[in-house]
Amino acid sequence: MQRPRPRIHVLLSATATALTIAVGAADPAAAAALPDAPAHVRPMSSCAGSGQSGGQVTQATVLARAQVWVNQNIPYTQTCQDDPGGYYREDCSGFISMAWELTSSLITTEFNPSYDGGDSRFQAVSPAALIPGDALVHDDSGNAGDSGEHHIMLFVGWSSDDNGAHRYANVQQESTFGVGTIAASDVDLSGGYWTPIHYVNMVQASSRIGVLTMDNHALVKEGSLSASWVTENSGVVQIVVADNRIGIVTTAGSAYVKEGGLSAPWVHELDGVRDLALTGTRVGVVTTAGSAYVKEGSLSASWVHELDGVAHIALGGNRVGVLTTNGSAYVKDGDLSAAWVHELDSVEQLILTGNRVGVLTTAAQVYVKEGSLSASWVHELDGVGHMALTDNRVGLITTAGSAYVKEGSLSASWVHEYDGAAQIDLS
C-alpha cells in the first residue's frame, strides 16, 4: 500500500496513521566494493564522527530529523556524507544513527541487542511497548562481516489497520542502491522476524513553557507545570519554544535561536525580523518587508523564500502556515514547495503543530482543529490576547494578562499558570 512521502507529521498523535521509516537494507560488504569513491566520501569502515553529541534526544527531535531526510530525498549510497543532521552513512543504519543523534554511523548489526553481548543503549522491547522513535531491526548474523540479511527501520506508530493488535506497522524504506525515493508499505511484525528496540537516550517530551513578561523578559520553565522559571534574555519582543530550541526576536528586530539546554549559547539568525517560528528542524521568519522565509536542517542552513505580503508565520510538524496582511490564514503540508491551503479569514494569530491548527480571531476568540486540514473547528475561549499550542497542550494569555494552560483533549480544564504575562509558548 503506497502512501504520500512527506506525511510523518500525522504520526505525532495517538489517533494518526502509524508510520515507520527506513533508509537502505545494508549489506556491509557492499561498501568496500564501491568504485572510485571521491575524496570527500569515506567507505563504511572509516566513517568519521558525526558531529553529534550522542546524548539525550527528544522523541520530537528524532521524528523531525528523520523527516528532513525524507523531505530531501537523501539517496541510498552506503557511503558517509555531510547531510542534514551530521556526517552519516546514507543507508538504513546511517538513517537510524542520524535520527538518534549518535556520535558515529553504526552498522545494522551493532543495533542488535543479541550481538556480542549487546549495546546497553539499545534495549529489546515487546511490540506492545514500542513508542514513536524506536526501531525495528533484523539481523541474521552473529558478526558484522558476513553476508546475511541486515536491516533496521525507525518506528513511529501503528497502522490504521492494526486495531490495537500491535502487529501491523506502516513502513517507509529505501532499498534500491542510488535511488532516493522512499516508498510506504505495511509490515507484519508477527513471526519474530523483526526485533523491536528502544534507544534509552530518547525522551518523549521536552516539557517546556515560555512566557514574555510585560517588561520584555523571556522566561522558560522545563519539566512539570510547577517548575521554576529561568530568565533567558531581556529586551525581547517575541519568544518561541520548540522541542530543544528556543528563539527570540529582540526589540532591535534581530532573531536569535539556541539549541539544546536552557544555558546553550544564542545563534544570530537574521536582522530585520518581525516574526519568528521554530520546530525541531525548521526556522521560519517574516521580515519587516513582509516576506516569509524558512530554513530546514541546521541553524546555519540556507533560507527559502515562501511568500510575500505576510504578517505572521507558523511551523508545526511538516506544515508551514502563514497569516497574510489582510488576515487570511493559509497552510501547506509537506515539503517547502507544497501548495497552500486556505484555512480561515479574520485571523489575528495562527499556530500549527503536527496534528493541530489553532487560530485567534480578530474578535479575540480561540479556535482549534485536530487532525486533517479540513477538520472542524472547536471553540476554546473568548477574551484572549495570545495563544500557544502543542499536540497535547493549549495555552493562552487573556486580555487581562493571565496565562492558562490545558493538557490533553481540547475539552480539558484550564490551569492558571501566571499573571502579568504578555505571551506564552509551549513545547
pLDDT classification of 251: cutoffs 50, 70, 90: very high
For 337-352, how does the pLDDT look when each residue is reduced to its tens digit (9 = 90+)? 888 989 999 999 998 8
210 Cβ contact list (under 8 Å, min separation 6): 218, 219, 220, 221, 232, 239, 240, 241, 246, 423, 424, 425, 426, 427
Which is higher by pLDDT, 370 or 183? 370
Cβ atoms 66, 19 nearer than 8 A: no
Mean pLDDT, to the nearest integer, of 160-172? 78
Mean pLDDT, to the nearest integer, of 174-187? 61
pLDDT classification of 296: cutoffs 50, 70, 90: confident
Closest CA to 67 of 2, 16, 7: 7
Which pLDDT score, from 0 to 100, does residue 184 have?
Answer: 60
Closest CA to 157 of 278, 322, 9, 358: 9
The answer to whether domain 208-426 has CATH 2.130.10.30 is yes
pLDDT classification of 179: cutoffs 50, 70, 90: low
Which pLDDT score, from 0 to 100, does residue 36 have?
Answer: 29
Which is higher by pLDDT, 66 or 304? 304
Mean of the per-residue pLDDT values of the chain? 81
Closest CA to 95 of 26, 10, 178, 4: 26
Cβ atoms 107, 99 nearer than 8 A: no
Q: How many residues appear in the chain?
A: 427
Which pLDDT score, from 0 to 100, does residue 55 have?
Answer: 80
Q: Is the pLDDT of residue 12 over 80?
A: no
Q: Is the pLDDT of residue 406 over 90?
A: yes
The answer to whether domain 8-203 has CATH 2.60.120 is no
Q: Which residues of 337-368 are buried (b: 16+ CB within 10 A; e: fewer)?
A: eeeeeebbeebbbbbbbbbbbbbbbeeebbbb
User: What is d(CA 25, CA 89) in angstroms, rounded to the nearest whole number?
Assistant: 12
DSSP string of 127-170, one letter each residue:
GGG--TT-EEEEE--SSTTSSS-EEEEEE----TT-TT-S-EEE
Question: Could you tell me what percent of the chain has a pLDDT over 90?
Answer: 37
Domain boundaries, the chain: 8-203, 208-426
Question: Could you tell me what percent of the chain has a pLDDT over 70?
Answer: 83
Read off the pTM.
0.54
Which pLDDT score, from 0 to 100, does residue 39 have?
Answer: 28
Q: Which residue has the cell 523483526?
A: 194
Mean pLDDT, to the nearest integer, of 307-322? 90
250 Cβ contact list (under 8 Å, min separation 6): 233, 235, 236, 237, 256
Identify the DSSP state of 264.
P
